[in-house]
Structure 1
Amino acid sequence: MTSSLRHNLADISRDILVENRRSPKRRLWTPAFVVAIVLTAGLLVLSLLTGQFDVFADDGFWMFGITRVPRTAALVLAGASMAMCGVIMQLLTQNRFVEPTTTGTTEWAGLGLILVIWLAPSASLFARMSAATAMAFIGTMVFFLFLRRVSLKSSLIVPIIGIMIGAVVSSFTTYLALATDSLQTLGIWFQGSFTGVIQGRYELMWIVAGVTVLVFIVADQFTVAGLGKDMATNVGLNYTVVLFMGTAMVAVATGVTATVVGVLPFLGLVVPNIVALMRGDDLRSNLPWVCLVGISLVTACDLIGRTIIAPFEIPVFMVLGVVGGVVFIGLLLRQRRKGGLAT
């Protein structure tokens, strides 16, 4: 690459970086954003008031603090963090069909959980979370290394490879669960439900709040990394460090969420794509929208699961799976009409 071409690429990347830094002040606080905040707050209030226990009874405030508040807080933290994970992975892979459940990250987290049960049955929730996070990090790095070594002509092949890797890992995890008589426990973990989120169990979810804040801080670096390794390196970005940092953040959020809540399928796929369709690809000014839409989507799906066959509950992962599947198919059809599946 010639010196003049390198300088031109550097100028283009710097212009994009500067524009992303300026755009939040100009574009974020719009009437639509205020409406989104109000709607999200309304859904959270409904979550606090929805349930079979009467919170206005004599001992209702006690039950309110033990179950409703932790559950709603977990909805906020899980929705925001897992939506952010989708943004990170889509930037680092330059592929809109990528998120933790289409790269095998959640399956690797499950392998970490079952290994802890096998090796240390009495391990604490924090130890299980640590193992899930470590394996999620390893699995995500395996996925990225595979992408770097294989040239793919279709954007659709990337999530297919991730799903295939996840299926292999899931099969091995199921075998270990059968061998250790832990298949039911594994099924409960990966059910993706907020039913068991109560005071004393959800506190680990506050770890993912740090991941969400960190994404806001380093958003510009992820923006430049999303331009590709060569261009990011040309503007002085240490691409490898950003890749490891992004992978670690995804691993932490996925490991913690999988341990406390379970799998939330397609959340990281649906939310970033919906926001991008509405607002374009301005990452920094889109991040608050990603948080709001992620929280709203998870809360709405949870409310549907809690009320559609009350007093019983449908796990949120089933509702999210239906919504996410429909959106995923819609994205494929849209990409096909644009002729983008073969590029």
Structure 2
Amino acid sequence: MTTTTHAPPKGKLFEPKLLIGVAVVGVLLLFSLFTGVYDIFGAQDGGEMFAITRIPRTIALVLAGAAMAMSGLVMQLLTQNRFVEPTTTGTTEWAGLGLLAVMIANPGASILVKMCGAVVAAFIGTFIFFLFLRSVSLKASLTVPIVGIMLGAVVGAISTFVALQTDMLQSLGIWFAGSFTSVLRGQYEVLWIVALVGVAVFLVADRFTVAGLGEEVATNVGLNYNQVMLLGTGLIAIATGIVTVVVGNLPFLGLIVPNIVSMFRGDDLRGNLPWVCLLGIAIVTVCDLVGRTIIMPFEVPVSLILGVVGAVVFIGLLLKQRRRA
């Protein structure tokens, strides 16, 4: 694995620029609230539809965008690799497999039960990936996400086969579409759990930062490295599992955001976390707005827009690393 062993610079947590970022994101969220085919001003039930669809969708954009961007930041720090995030390590595919297993075992399961199944499976998959990294010394930074993508492809193939055998292939495709179209009042509230995950990440940010310097350094300063890795795995699994159940797959978001933020602010997790959350929300919101308006009155899944943007950024990062090498 490619490591970054220098001490991360300490940035200010709150600064005037952050307020500007909050204002910009606030404007984007206002656009989200008032963008759509349904006439919320002219229709008789416009106010009710606004409360049922627009507000939940906008809140889901905030929570899902922040959660996946934050998960990517933590995962990159713990693996010491800038090319990993939940969709390049198989975590999302494992969450989908857990969701599928719950649906097969209990077709009428509540969203909370589905969430638990996805979280457990995501934790198992992420734990397996981390164990693999610890047992195999990978020197090339690009090899790590390639291994993760391969593992994810295997899990995804198993999910597809099982879904095909149980006549649930269409449902599987809908789950992985990554769209906010179906987010309604009464169906998105479990997403608030990822806000607690964000608080937990902020509270233990310094430990994650030290763990990101490597096991030897972390152990020398008295940190329980294995405990921190287990905690990080659990938080990533919770965030990924919940977002997968409610929204679906949001590819490359956890890859794009931390890399852009670290270019300007270094690798201090606590200082970068507000910026990572803001940028994650902004990118998801912009992609969702594009998806809603590009072929209106129809919608393009946000995962499609994110996939295109993420692929371009991923290629750019590869070329940048190649120039450095």
- TM-score of the aligned structures, taking structure 2 as reference length: 0.96
Shift of 1:87: 0.7
| 2:180 counterpart residue number | 194
Which letter does structure 2 place at the counterpart of 1:75?
A: L
Q: What SS does the aligned partner of 2:267 have? A: coil
Unpaired stretches in structure 2, ≥5 consecutive residues: none
Distance (Å, rounded) in 1 between the aligned partners of 2:234 and 2:104: 25
Distance (Å, rounded) in 2 between the aligned partners of 1:253 and 1:37: 22
Which letter does structure 2 place at the counterpart of 1:24?
A: K
Alignment of 1:105-120 (within 5 A): 105-120=91-106
Distance (Å, rounded) in 2 between the aligned partners of 1:290 and 1:44: 17
Q: What SS does the aligned partner of 1:101 have? A: coil
Distance (Å, rounded) in 2 between the aligned partners of 1:222 and 1:65: 38
Q: What SS does the aligned partner of 1:96 have? A: coil
Alignment of 1:31-110 (within 5 A): 32-57=17-42, 58-110=44-96
Q: CA RMSD in A?
A: 1.4
Percent pairwise identity: 62
| 2:251 counterpart residue number | 265
Distance (Å, rounded) in 2 between the aligned partners of 1:185 and 1:126: 18
Distance (Å, rounded) in 2 between the aligned partners of 1:176 and 1:129: 19
Distance (Å, rounded) in 1 between the aligned partners of 2:110 and 2:268: 41
Shift of 1:33: 2.2
Higher Rg of the two aligned structures: 1
Match of 1:211 among 183, 194, 197: 197
| 1:8 counterpart residue number | none
Q: What SS does the aligned partner of 1:65 have? A: helix
Distance (Å, rounded) in 1 between the aligned partners of 2:268 and 2:132: 28
Q: What SS does the aligned partner of 2:12 have? A: helix
Structure 1, residues 9-35: CA drift from partner, whole Å, max 9, x if none?
xxxx9x958x74xx425xx313x3222
| 2:209 counterpart residue number | 223
Shift of 1:61: 1.0
Higher helix share: 1
Higher mean C-alpha deviation, range 94-103 or range 205-214: 205-214
| 2:286 counterpart residue number | 300
Structure 1, residues 120-149: CA drift from partner, whole Å, max 9, x if none?
222111111100000000000000000011
Structure 1, residues 172-225: CA drift from partner, whole Å, max 9, x if none?
110110111000000000000000000010011111111111111111010000
Which letter does structure 1 place at the counterpart of 2:27?
A: G
Residues 193 and 316 in structure 1, CA contact (< 8 A), matched pair in contact too:
yes
- TM-score of the aligned structures, taking structure 1 as reference length: 0.91
Distance (Å, rounded) in 1 between the aligned partners of 2:188 and 2:73: 24
Aligned positions, number: 320
Distance (Å, rounded) in 1 between the aligned partners of 2:247 and 2:214: 34
Unpaired stretches in structure 1, ≥5 consecutive residues: 1-12
| 2:12 counterpart residue number | 24
Distance (Å, rounded) in 1 between the aligned partners of 2:147 and 2:261: 25
Distance (Å, rounded) in 1 between the aligned partners of 2:303 and 2:113: 24
Shift of 1:296: 0.2
Distance (Å, rounded) in 1 between the aligned partners of 2:50 and 2:175: 24
Structure 1, residues 291-336: CA drift from partner, whole Å, max 9, x if none?
1000000000000000000000000000000000000000000011
| 1:153 counterpart residue number | 139
Residues 24 and 284 in structure 1, CA contact (< 8 A), matched pair in contact too:
no
Distance (Å, rounded) in 2 between the aligned partners of 1:181 and 1:283: 44
Residues 108 and 169 in structure 1, CA contact (< 8 A), matched pair in contact too:
yes
Shift of 1:36: 1.3
